[in-house]
Structure 1
Amino acid sequence: MSGVLEKGDGHQDDTLMIVMLWRIDAGDIEGALAIAEYALAHGLLMPAGHTRTTGCEIAEEMAAAAKLADQQRQPLELSLLAQTVTLTDEEDMPDVVRAELYKWVGFCQRDNGLPDAALDTLKRALRLFQGVGVKVEIKKLEKARNTALPKT
């Protein structure tokens, strides 16, 4: 796969796209994101049988990987989720998919001691889709922030 990425001719490669998904499933997120960056830069499409756009597929699969990693108590690195957001931010996808990605970025920010960033990200997820499942966490973060504010 590295040869395909290094050659960089940008031709449609269904095998490469399937390998990207396999890498996400196998936990090789860095490898998957290298392919994702290449795929998006060259406008590669998902192979037959996949109905979503490449950007949407990447965002949705990464959110699912983040959820699974969190359930296994082995959360993904924040930098990898942030890279996913950067790669897919301009891509067309349903709000619910983008909201789910932001949800897991926000949870990861929270877990990495970035409560203000987490609050902003979770609020963005909620604006995109009211049913994303972040309302309780937003309330907790707001309460913690208000408790930490100096009394005047």
Structure 2
Amino acid sequence: YDALGDEKRLRVERARAVGRDVDLDEIEAQVQEQIASVRDNVQGLERTLGDLRRDEESLESKIEKRRAELERAEKRLSALRQVRPAYMDEYDQLEAGMDEMYDAYVEKRRNLDYLEWQLREMSADEDAAREEKERE
């Protein structure tokens, strides 16, 4: 409905366009110019697309290399985690020996503390007996 309101204006423009002298050479030159412009634009877009495809291939190859490096590193890490160092057997033996020595030390220390306590008790008893004798 709104387009009908513009009909008067459009009728005048149509009449002016039809009434004008049309220079076919000029129109053909403009069309050729537009075609050349579009071709240049298409060529530019094709170059850009080619560059993007090369970039994509380059990035994909880099990603694949990194994945391969990561896989190798993970395999190496798992292999290293499974390997027991050569010194660990000796370490385990020394640790077992130290445990035995520590147990013996604790037992001897406990016995020494008990004997020192008994010695103090006996000394206190002897001192008490001597004092009692002296009082008599």
TM > 0.5 = no
Bigger radius of gyration: 2
Q: TM-score, normalised by structure 1?
A: 0.16
Q: TM-score, normalised by structure 2?
A: 0.17
Considering fraction of residues, name the structure with more helix: 2
Q: Which has the higher contact order (CA 8 A, sep 6+)?
A: 1
